[in-house]
Amino acid sequence: MTLAELYALIPAVDCIPGCTDCCGVIPLPLREERAAFGNVPLSNFNGTPFSAYQHCPNADEGCKIHDKRPFMCRLFGTVSRDHPRAVGQAAGMCCPHGRQPKKPLSPERAKQLTIWYFELAKKERH
């Protein structure tokens, strides 16, 4: 699976124009995503690069890189807030304004997509 194929599995969220409430520290393990994100300081957690900012530097009055945004940014808001297992990490992926896709992801599906994402990153490192 390619990164583009993975992105295609993530449903779109109709965000509030200009909202950046979900923009924060995200993993950036793939070169393609780091390039799109821009020249920002990175921190490292268990061998995975993360943006070192608490608030995304590309999120000034809306997302400057929306079409090229990384996986975790695309995944945010796609998990069903009404799903009985939308707790813990899955609940943290729900939009604070209640926005979600017409067909939101289950927490299990979001977890599977995330596993595939980190498998792509692992392949890139080798």
94, pLDDT greater than 60: yes
Q: What is the pTM of this model?
A: 0.85
Domain spans of the chain, in order of start? 3-125
Which amino acid would we find at residue 95?
C
Q: Is 32 helix (H, G, I), strand (E, B) or coil?
A: helix
Predicted local distance difference test score (pLDDT) of residue 50: 81
User: For the chain, how far is it from start to end, CA to CA, in angstroms?
Assistant: 16
- How many residues can be counted in the chain? 126
* CA gap 105, 52 in Å, rounded: 28
- Give the pLDDT confidence of 38-91 residue by residue, as tens digits: 877 888 877 888 887 777 888 888 888 888 999 999 999 998 776 655 555 556
